[in-house]
Structure 1
Amino acid sequence: MRTRLRSRRTSAIVSALLAASAVAVSGCGGNDSASPNIAVVTPAAKCSALAGITVPAGSIGLPTKGATVVSATLVAATDSGNNNGEYCKVLGSIHPVDFNAPDIRAEVDLPTNFNGKVVHFGGGGFDGTIANTEGSPADGFLSGVEPAGVSTPLRRGYVTVGSDSGHEGNVLDGSFATNDEALANYAGDHIKMTHDFAAYIAKARYGSDFVHSYFIGGSSGGRQGLIAAQRFPHDYDGIISTYPASGITGLWLQMGRISRSLLAPGGYVTPAKGKALLAAVIKQCDALDGVADGIISNPAACVFDPTAIRCSGGGDTGDSCLSDVQLNTMTTAGTPLNFSFNLANGVQTFPAYNAFTGADFWSVGLAWGASADDALIEPGVIGKSAFYYTFSNDMLRFAVARDPALSILNFNSANPGSLTSRVQVVSALMDSTSTDLTQFQGRGGKIILQHGQSDQFIPAQLSIDYYDRLASRFGQGPLSLFLKFYLVPGAAHGVGGQFNGSYDGLTVLDNWVTKGIEPKNLTITDLAPPTAGRTRPMCEYPQWPKYVGGDPNLAASFVCSN
C-alpha cells in the first residue's frame, strides 16, 4: 500500500512538473520567462518539486531497486562562490539490488538556461566521491582548469552529471570491491544507472529529453568514457577519453610489479633523484624535435642510456645519481609486462612507461609516495601513500582474492597461479579494451581520445596500443571519421610533466557532433607557470609537433610531422 501511494505521489509530482513546463514559455529549452497572460511556475518551484521523488526501477536500464531524490536546492546566480548562473542542484541515491551493496550517490545540476544537452563527468582512481559537476571536466591535462575565457559546462547551459560510482571512500580505497554488485557498479554499471537517473530527473524538470549527451573523463573516468561507447552506445553522442585506464587490470598488475622494485631495499627513487634523471633525459633528447624548449616532442627518437646517471660503483652516493638497485626500478617501469595468460579481448601484455623519455613520477607524492616510508601507508593517504602500491594492493586483496591478508609485494603479476581465472573474470568486468565500437559508430557517435607523453600513472603506449587495434579493425581512414587520437608531448596525468596543456575540448566535441565540424588545426595551451601561455599544435597520431622556426612559445612555429 505504501509503495502504491508513493508511486501515485511521484506520478502526480512528475505530471505537475510536465504541465508546468508545458505552460512556461521556453525560448531555448530552459528559458523560464513568460508573457504576462500565461501562468508562470518559477525555477525555484520547479526545483523544490523534485525533492523526494522516486525514480522507478523500470526507468533505469540495469537492475536496481529504483532511485530517490535526496535533495533539490536552487542555487541563485548571486550566491557566494557560484559562477555558474542559476541552477538546481539535485542529489540522489540509486538503490542496489543487493541489500549489502552501497547506493550509487549521484548529482544532477540543472541550469535554468538549459541548452538541451548534458555532460556526464567521469571519476578517477577508485572514485568514492561525486565528481565536481560544478567545475570543468577532464577535457585537458591540468585537472579542473580551463584556458582563460572558457566557462564551465554548467554555466554554458549544459546539465552536468556525476556519481561516486557506487561507494563512499577516496581514490585510494578499494575495500568496497569485496561486494560483487559494488564492484560491478564501479567497473561500469554506474555509468548507465547514473545516465538514466539524470535523464528521468531532467525530463521531469524541463519536460523534454536531452538533445545531445556527452561523457568526459580522465584516467578511470577515461576508461568509463570508452565503456560508455562500447557498452551503452545509444546513450551518448560524443565522448572525450583523456589518459584512459583502458586496460585497468594490466595497469594494476604492472603497478604491482613496479612496486616490488620501488619498495625493495634501496630501490626507492626519491624526488631529488627523479629530478636529476629527468634533467639528464631532457638534456639529451630535448632538441631532437628541432628546439630546446624543455619538451621531448618525439619520445620515439629518444634513446637514453641509464648508465649515464649511474652512481660511481653502483652504490647510492647522493641525489645526483641512481644506484644499481634504483636503476632497476626505473628499468622495470620502462619495460612492458608480459602475461602467461590472456586478459579481456586477448590482451597479453601491458606496455612500458616512458621512464627514460620524460615521464614524471615525482612532481606529486601520489604516484610513488612522498617517501619510501610513506609509500606503504595503509589505508592510502592522498599525497603520502604510493598510488602504485595502494591501488594494486587493494585490487589484489579486495577485487580479486577477497583476502585482505595478501600483499601485492608477494604476488607474481605475470603469472598469478591459482588466481589467474579470477583475474580474468575481473578483467572482463572492468577493462575497456574492446574494439567493438560499431554501434556507436553507426549512430554517428564521436570520440576524442587523448594522452600525454609524460604520463606518470598510465603509459601513453596503452592508448597507442588501443588505437592501433582500432585502426586494424576499422582502417585508419574510416576510424578517423568518428575517432580522433592525440598524443600531447610533455603532458602528464592531471598535474606534473613539462607541459600542462589545456583547450576547450567540449566545444570541439560539440561542434563535431552538432555541426559536423571535424577537429582540425587544434591548439593546446600550457597553463603551468613559469611557461603558462605557450602553445603547441595538437597533432593527430601518429604525427608530432616539429619546430620549423620562429617563436618557440607559439604553435605557429611548429608543424605536425611524421
Structure 2
Amino acid sequence: MKFVAICAASAALISTSSATAIPNDFKTRCSRLAHDFHPDRNVKVLVSEFWAKGTPFKNPENHPTCNMWNPAKVTVDLCRLRMNVTTSETSSVTVEAFLPADWKERRFLMTGNGGLGGCTAYDQMGFGAAMGFATIGHNNGHLGDTGVPFLNRPEVIKDYVYRALVTATDLGKKATSHFYQTDIKKSYYMGCSTGGRQGLKAAQQFPQKFDGIIVGAPANNFNNLLSNQAHQFKLMGKPGDPTYLNKDQWVAVNKVVLEQCDGLDGVLDGVIEDPMKCIPRPEAALCRPGQTWESHRCLTGAQVGAVRRMYEPFYSSNGTLLYNRLSPGGEIDPIRYGTSGYIFDWVRYAIYSNPAWSPDDFSLATADDVNKADLYGVSTWEDLTKLKAAGTKLLQYHGLMDGGITAENSYRYYEHVSRSMGLPSGDLDPFYRFFPIPGLGHCGSGDGAWYIGNGFSLNTELDASPLQNGGVLMSMVKWVEQGIAPERITGRAVKENGKMMVKDHCKWPSRNVYKGGDPDLKESWGCQ
C-alpha cells in the first residue's frame, strides 16, 4: 500500500501564477494566523508562514519513512498552516493546510494518506494547491509509516481508521474560512491506496462532509488485503528458499505474462487491456533439465508452482473468498508490496499487542482473528446508502497493473454495492462511477496511459494535463459544479521515444476496445 516514488506538480502546472497575484495583505494575514486562529481548546497552531513559489520543500516531520511523500519545492505562493489537535487523552493529530494566494474558485480539497498512514501527503497537498484548492493533509494520528504507535493505544488506532480524517476535515474547513474570510464553495476529497480506503470510509459513513470524493486503488477489504499479503509472503518464501524469486526473476515473469496476454485486445502495445481475461501460464518460464536461471533465465518447478499460486484467490479455512488473485501484469509490484511489513505491524501492535509476534506465525487462524477484530470498522466494506442520500458524488479508479492492491478487489466492491443496494449500474451512475485504468500501476506510473490527473506524476511533461477536463480531479469538479458526469477518464504517458500516448479509459461496466490504427492515439479506442 505504499505509494510509488513520485514528484510534485512542476512549475509548468501553475505558470500563470506570479508574485503580482498575491493580495497585498496575504503575507500579513498568514503570519498572524498563529495568533488569530483559535477554534477551540483542543487545537494548537504550531506554525503559520508564507511560502513563496519555488521555495525548496523541507519536511517538518523528519521521519525517514515519510520522505517519499515530499515534493521537491513549493509550486505556488501559499500560506502554510500547521496545527496539532487533541483527539483524546492519549492521542492527537497533526493537521497541515496549504492555502494558495489564488483562491478565486473557493474550492476545498482533503487529501489521503498512504501505507500505515503516519506521513502527511505533502506531494498531494502541493498538487492541490497548484490547482487552486485550499488543500489539507494530516499525519493520521501518529508519526511514520509504521504500526509501532498502535501498541496498547486504541485511540491512536481509532484516529488511523477514521477519526483523523474527520478531525482534519472539520478543522481544515474552519481554518480555510477563517483565513479567506469567506465561505467554501465546494468541498472535495482525493486519495489513493490507504487514502482510497479513507475516501470510501467517508463515502460510507460521513459523505455529507464532501461534495465529491475521489478514491484510487482503495485499500478496503483491509483485513483480508493484509492477510493476503502475509499469505503471499509465506507462499514465495525468503531469499534462499526454493520458491523465492528475486526482482529480475519477477521481471522475467512479467515478460512471459505480457507475451501471453498483451494481444488479447487485438493489438500488441505492451499493455494488458483487460487482465480479467488473462489466465497466465508461468510454466512457459520453466527450466528444462540441466538449465538454470544463470544459464537460461528460466525458473525451477518450485518457483513456477509458487508463481502459479499467486494467480489464485485466497480463501479462508471454511472456503470463504478472502481476497482476489494477483492482477496479471502487476508482477513487479510484489517486490515492493507483496512482501511488505504492514500485515506484520498490524498484527503485532494493533491485533495481538505482542511485538514478539513473528511473520512465520501467520496462518489462516491469524486471518480469522484479524477479521473478527475489524478494529473500528477498518474493513470499510459497507454500501453507499448514506452517500446516495447525501447527494455526494463518488469517483473510483484502479490501475489494472497494480500488483500491490489488485484491481479485482475494486470490481468486487462495485458489484457488492450494486447487489446490496439493489441497484443496477444505470442506477448507480448518478452518484457512483468506477473507472478501471489499463496500464496504471499502484496510484502512479505504469506501461499504459497511466497519468490521469490524480497528482501522482513521474514526468513533468505531463503535469499540465490535469488543467484539461479529462483527469479525475477536474472531471469530479465538472460533475459536481456543472452536472456533467464523466463517461471516460483521459490518461496520458510519455513513451521512451518521447511520443505522447493518450487514451480514454471507460466507465465500468464498459470496456476499452481497440478499433484499429495507432494504439497510442485515443481515436483508436472505444468503449463497449
How does the TM-score come out when normalised to structure 2? Answer: 0.83
Between 496-505 and 313-322, report the one with greater CA deviation.
Answer: 313-322
- Which consecutive unaligned segments of at least 5 residues does structure 1 have? 1-30, 34-40, 58-64, 137-151, 369-385
Taking the TM superposition and a 5 Å limit, the aligned residue runs for 1:518-557 are 518-527=485-494, 529-530=496-497, 533-557=500-524
Relative distance call for 1:323 and 1:315 in structure 2 (3 A) is farther
Specify which of 395, 416, 440 is matched with residue 387 of structure 2. 440
Relative distance call for 1:132 and 1:529 in structure 2 (3 A) is farther
Deviation of the 1:325 alpha carbon:
2.2
CA distance in 2, matches of 1:285, 1:513: 38
Relative distance call for 1:244 and 1:97 in structure 2 (3 A) is same
1:331 matched to 2:308? The reply is yes
Between 73-82 and 546-555, report the one with greater CA deviation.
Answer: 73-82
Specify which of 397, 404, 413 is matched with residue 457 of structure 1. 404
1:75 matched to 2:42? The reply is no
Taking the TM superposition and a 5 Å limit, the aligned residue runs for 1:204-283 are 204-264=178-238, 265-283=241-259
CA distance in 2, matches of 1:183, 1:527: 41
Taking the TM superposition and a 5 Å limit, the aligned residue runs for 1:240-389 are 240-264=214-238, 265-313=241-289, 317-318=293-294, 320-340=297-317, 348-354=321-327, 357-362=328-333, 365-367=335-337, 386-387=339-340
- Which consecutive unaligned segments of at least 5 residues does structure 2 have? 1-20, 57-71, 453-470
Relative distance call for 1:475 and 1:494 in structure 2 (3 A) is closer
Deviation of the 1:79 alpha carbon:
4.9
Amino acid in the other structure paired with 2:417: L
SS of structure 2 residue aligned to 1:440: helix
Task: Find the counterpart in structure 1 of residue 372 from structure 2.
Answer: 424
SS of structure 1 residue aligned to 2:143: coil
CA distance in 2, matches of 1:98, 1:422: 26
1:471 matched to 2:418? The reply is yes
* CA RMSD across the alignment: 2.5
Are the aligned partners of 2:313 and 2:321 in contact in 1 as well (CA < 8 Å)?
no
Q: In the TM superposition, what whole-angstrom CA distance separates every residue of 1:138-190 from its partner, at most 9, and x where no partner exists?
A: xxxxxxxxxxxxxx3313321000011011112xx211122101111111111
Task: Find the counterpart in structure 2 of residue 43 from structure 1.
Answer: 26
* Identity rate, percent: 25
Specify which of 161, 176, 194 is matched with residue 202 of structure 1. 176
Q: In the TM superposition, what whole-angstrom CA distance separates every residue of 1:508-536 from its partner, at most 9, and x where no partner exists?
A: 10010010011124321124635762122
CA distance in 2, matches of 1:45, 1:546: 55
Q: In the TM superposition, what whole-angstrom CA distance separates every residue of 1:321-346 from its partner, at most 9, and x where no partner exists?
A: 2222222332332111222479xxxx
CA distance in 1, matches of 2:292, 2:54: 58
Are the aligned partners of 2:251 and 2:332 in contact in 1 as well (CA < 8 Å)?
no
Amino acid in the other structure paired with 2:213: I
1:481 matched to 2:430? The reply is yes
CA distance in 2, matches of 1:134, 1:254: 28
Specify which of 320, 341, 365 is matched with residue 415 of structure 1. 365
Relative distance call for 1:396 and 1:201 in structure 2 (3 A) is same
Specify which of 120, 123, 137 is matched with residue 110 of structure 2. 120
Amino acid in the other structure paired with 2:434: F
Task: Find the counterpart in structure 2 of residue 399 from structure 1.
Answer: 350
Are the aligned partners of 2:400 and 2:407 in contact in 1 as well (CA < 8 Å)?
yes
How does the TM-score come out when normalised to structure 1? Answer: 0.78
Deviation of the 1:401 alpha carbon:
0.6
Taking the TM superposition and a 5 Å limit, the aligned residue runs for 1:84-233 are 84-99=75-90, 101=91, 103-114=92-103, 115-132=105-122, 152-170=127-145, 173-178=146-151, 179-233=153-207
Are the aligned partners of 2:111 and 2:190 in contact in 1 as well (CA < 8 Å)?
yes
1:507 matched to 2:456? The reply is no
Amino acid in the other structure paired with 1:247: N
CA distance in 2, matches of 1:252, 1:495: 21
CA distance in 2, matches of 1:348, 1:303: 19
Q: In the TM superposition, what whole-angstrom CA distance separates every residue of 1:63-101 from its partner, at most 9, and x where no partner exists?
A: xx61111010012347568664322100111113123x3
Amino acid in the other structure paired with 2:336: L
Structure with larger Rg: 1
